Amino acid sequence: MVSLRFPFSFSQPPTPKPPNASTSSSFSTSATTACSVAAVCGAGIAAGLALSQTPANPLYGNAFSSLLSNLLLNTSHFSPMWGSLSLSGSSASVAEPKTGMSFPSVLKDSQRLLGIGLRKKAVLGLKNIDVYAFGVYADDGDIKKVLTEKYGALSAAELKEKKELREDLMESDVSMTIRLQIVYGRLSIQSVRSAFQESVGNRLRKFGGPNNKELLERFTSQFKDEYKIPRGSIIDLSRDQGYVLRTTIDGQEVGSIQSKPLCRSIIDLYIGDEPFDQKAKEDVQKNLAHVLQK
């Protein structure tokens, strides 16, 4: 059994203030006391309530997170939460707020969720469609092993402003996974292949030089026409030790390529200087700082 502490610090819309908050002062003290006792006594029951799965709590769509939210006894604002999870049977997850796509807090026993975001694409220059939600994961132990010597003495506030921290994460041999969950139900595998040819191709020219057409073709050819990707399908792009990019579609491995420039190009799409989702990149930076401060 492995236990990890990790921050649930992800961007989300503010929670609206209860409409009757200004009229409750006459009984606030007794109510707070009663609620505190009830929250502790009812912890076991609250963890099983289906209420935690409702759209009213889109970011923490699991019973564990709902319980923590109730124990805070404060609905007027959001504060980053820290949870201690036992991975022996935990199914804790975090949802992308707009689409509701849910991402496990931990992959492969040790890869921690650092940020979630949304890939959008303009159609005819007029309308943006939500193509897929994505989650960025990195191995907890690898982060500390590779980055602590350089950044361990810095405060969390300093780390959040260090652009070099993300650069070193992308350049290093830290095990990472970019998980894509398809949102647009009419997306074809041919469209995915074409999009990667453009976006990854641009990054490969930046990080690997102009002579990478064969490498790009090896990567994009993994997305064969026979693969179907309806809404909810999962594509994992994982950087394994030794700069091996491993691609899986709905749990089935479709290929692996050893290439540092290719790994860097993929990760740069999501946390580089021009990411698909700026908020996701900022969340990765903040949560990476939290890992190094543990």
Q: How deeply is 46 buried, as exposed, middle or buried, from its count of CB atoms within 10 A (0-12, 13-18, 19+)?
A: buried
Residue-range definition of the domain harbouring residue 277: 91-291
Residue 33 lies in a domain: no
Residue 43 lies in a domain: no
pLDDT grade for 293, boundaries at 50, 70 and 90: confident
Residue 26 lies in a domain: no
**pTM reported for the whole predicted model:** 0.72
Output DSSP code: residue 277: -
pLDDT for residue 282 is more than 90: yes
Residue 98 lies in a domain: yes
Residue 111 lies in a domain: yes
Residue 189 lies in a domain: yes
Q: How many domains does the chain have?
A: 1
CATH number of the domain at 235, please. Answer: 3.50.70.10
- Average confidence (pLDDT) over 184-190: 95
Query: Which range, of 71-85, 97-111, 264-278, averages the lowest pLDDT?
Result: 71-85
Residue 235 lies in a domain: yes
- Average confidence (pLDDT) over 97-126: 93
Residue 238 lies in a domain: yes
What SS3 state is found at 206?
A: helix
What SS3 state is found at 135?
A: strand
Cβ-contact 60, 66 below 8 angstroms = yes
The percentage of the chain sitting over the pLDDT mark of 70, rounded to a whole number, equals 69
pLDDT grade for 209, boundaries at 50, 70 and 90: confident
Q: How deeply is 144 buried, as exposed, middle or buried, from its count of CB atoms within 10 A (0-12, 13-18, 19+)?
A: middle
What is the average pLDDT score of the chain?
A: 78
CA nearest to 287, candidates 164, 137, 154, 148: 137
pLDDT grade for 248, boundaries at 50, 70 and 90: very high
The phi, psi pair for 260, rounded to 5°, reads -65, -45
